[in-house]
Structure 1
Amino acid sequence: MEYRKKLIAIVGPTATGKTELAVKLAKILGGEIISADSRLVYRDFNIGTAKPDKEEMQGIPHYMIDVVDPCEVYTAGKYKKEAGRLLENISKPVIITGGTGFYIRSLLEGLDIPEIDPDVEFRKAMEKLDKQDLYKKLQECDPVMALKLHYNDTFRIIRALEVQHLIGKPMSEIQSMSEPKYEVLYVGLNAADREFIYNRINQRVIKMVELGLVSECESLIEKYGRTPSLLGTLGYREICEYLDGLCSLDEAIEKIQKNTRNFAKRQLTWFRANKEIHWFNIDEATQEEIISSILQ
């Protein structure tokens, strides 16, 4: 039987403490961390993505963070290739952590996605359309993929339309599954009381604003422009609406909180499809208790 490298993957909805748990576990195992978060790959997306800083990393090497500028297109296929290369080269125990189910599935579960270069002109044309028209186009040409994406997820909707434009086939048809290359212990973080996570989300959004989310968004616009990655990221999208005078700051905060809660629901739906995940409720067990169970 072919040897498969053993990994630990910590997954689950946003604001459940995945990064903190991964760091504690890495310190015990002498391991390193690979992020599976489609927003953390972008440089300067710091406050709005709750990107861990040096203090939070506690000296543990973190990979797949600050990979590209926000004006660049970064696909799941590219993530799989680059993260896969890291997995081949890291000799220490590896912990994958993040909430982007598409990244987890492509890297660890054998989802194969052809790496197709972006079409800049096509993207520019699509970016001129509003969200409803974009989503309608996707529903018409790839209804299977449309069911998997939220209509606010303009970044991935444009990517799906772009792929079909370039190769003449729906993205849902060109994705395939192969045998997973790794032996993975999946750890999922959730809560018995959903309101527990919602409260954590609400408080984190308030903290982001206090830390300077508005000024960070202004700096990103000044440096890179209103890129699809910016407008497709929770937090920045709503702050842009505030900066445009479409709502008050309090209304923007409420929108971020509501949209993030809805996003957490979609993350749970995605991860629950993986029956190999061992779930732990963060409102019933401490991180030390969870780590003890993982190491048994």
Structure 2
Amino acid sequence: MASPAPAPAPPPAPAPTPLVIVLLGPTASGKTELAIGLARALELAVLNVDSRQLYRGMDVGTAKPTPAEQAQVRHELLDLRDPDQPINLEEFRAVAAAQIQAELERPRPGRPLALLAGGSGLYLKALTQGLRPPAVPPQPALRRQFSALGQPTCHQLLRAADPIAAGRIAAADSVRTQRALEVLYATGRPLSSQQGCTPPPWQVLELGLDPPDLRERIRRRTVALYAGGLLEETARLRQRYGADLPLLATIGYGEALQVLEGHLDEAAAIALTTRHTQQFAKRQRTWFRRQHRPLWLEGDTTALRLEQALREIRRVLL
């Protein structure tokens, strides 16, 4: 009698689904400190998702992690370009997705992990929800024309041609306004009609920061930025790239530039920067509550918020 055939080998266990942890929140909410705490506890890098921290030489005005903070844990996706070489959303998405994949492939026990931290909502959405903007390369000639027209006129043009995109872009956001017009003129189709979504192959855990004292945090941080060299940094950027550099029109740099040009004194610039930042933070809050569903972290200190965040991460990893 023939011996029975050996039982087939069991199929290999499926690979664990990677987990991408996202720490989001409005400006000055404490993301940098908490992200460093999470990265140290989990032995991860902090992957930056702040659209202005992508640029070299823009350190003080963007509240970029200091050299001492960067020495505590590895930071990635900082200082990718010079300020006169803007990176668009699709370019950032491609670079960041590759960096996330590299983090997920690092040898570690258990599930592959990566940590994103930042407050740039559209950039976060591109990564966590698979938003795929059109791959239109920069159009330098168009951008020069847009800059000559001025931001108010450009935003009016966008409202007339693509009201959906205009509704998503702040009236003072010259970088995103010009990009939307650039896509429209280059393709003949509105940006809003070309943005599809392909969810990434990861599980995403979003953790949010929105402290009740945010307005006071913004005030204190603005004072610290000016004390920490914002005017000097703005002067260096103006000398190297010219006063019409689009990124010098953004919050903090725009007001500092007015001080350098004699249109404001420093006290007035601090007050104006504070107000503009508080208004921006309000828009960020609205975006995060409409476009994302984070677990909002509570607690009066970074230590308590870190404890809550780690507890939630461990729950998801079980």
TM bin, normalised by shorter chain, reads over 0.9
Select the structure of larger CA radius of gyration.
2
Whether 1:54 and 2:78 are equivalent positions in the alignment is: no
Q: Which among 161, 170, 185 is matched to residue 190 of structure 2?
A: 170
Q: Is the 8 A contact 1:163 1:170 kept in 2?
A: yes
Q: Which amino acid aligns with 1:107?
A: L
Residue identity matched to 1:212: G
CA RMSD of aligned residues (A): 1.8
Count of aligned pairs: 293
Whole-Å separation in 2 of the counterparts to 1:229 and 1:280: 35
Pick the aligned partner of 2:201 from 163, 177, 181.
Answer: 181
Question: Please, which of 225, 238, 257 is the counterpart of residue 208 of structure 1?
Answer: 225
- Match 2:80 to one of 46, 54, 67: 67
User: In the alignment, residue 181 of structure 1 is paired with which amino acid?
Assistant: P
User: Offset at 1:59?
Assistant: 3.2
Letter aligned with residue 45 of structure 2: E
Match of 1:255 among 265, 272, 287: 272
Aligned to 1:265: 282
* Contact 2:36/2:72, CA 8 A, preserved across alignment: no
User: Structure 2: how far apart are the matches of 1:282 and 1:218?
Assistant: 39
2:36 to 20, 23, 33: 23
Q: Secondary structure at the match of 1:95?
A: strand
Q: Which residue of 1 aligns with 2:18?
A: 5
Offset of 1:55 from its aligned partner? 1.0
In structure 1, runs of 5+ residues without a counterpart are none
Q: What's the counterpart of residue 130 of structure 1?
A: 150
Hey, what's the Cα distance between the residues in 1 that align with 2:102 and 2:310?
28
Distance 2:65 2:35 in 1: 12
Unaligned runs of 5+ in 2: 1-13, 107-112
Decide which moves more: 98-107 or 178-187.
178-187
Alignment equivalent of 1:117, drawn from 137, 155, 171: 137
For residue 305 of structure 2, the aligned residue among 283, 287, 292 is: 287
2:285 maps to amino acid: L
Q: Is the 8 A contact 1:114 1:174 kept in 2?
A: yes
Q: What fraction of aligned residue pairs are identical, expressed as a percent? A: 32
Q: Work out whether residues 151 and 172 of structure 2, in 8 Å CA contact, stay in contact via their aligned partners in 1.
A: yes
TM superposition score normalised by structure 1? 0.94
Match of 1:88 among 97, 101, 115: 101
Q: Distance in 2 between matches of 1:59 and 1:187?
A: 21
More divergent stretch after superposition (271-280 vs 204-213) = 271-280
TM-score by length of 2: 0.87
* Cα distance between partner residues in 2 of 1:172 and 1:250: 40
Residue 146 (str. 1) matches residue 163 (str. 2):
no
C-alpha deviation, 1:110, in angstroms:
1.2
1:36 aligned partner? 49
C-alpha contact (below 8 Å) 1:190/1:282 kept by paired residues: no
Contact persistence 2:21–2:205 (CA under 8 A)? yes
CA distance in 1, matches of 2:135, 2:245: 19
Q: For structure 1, which segment, 91-100 or 254-263, has the greater mean C-alpha deviation from structure 2 after superposition?
A: 91-100
Give the SS at the match of 2:72.
coil
Secondary structure of 1:214's counterpart equals helix
Change in Cα spacing, 1:275 to 1:119, as seen in structure 2 (3 Å) is: closer
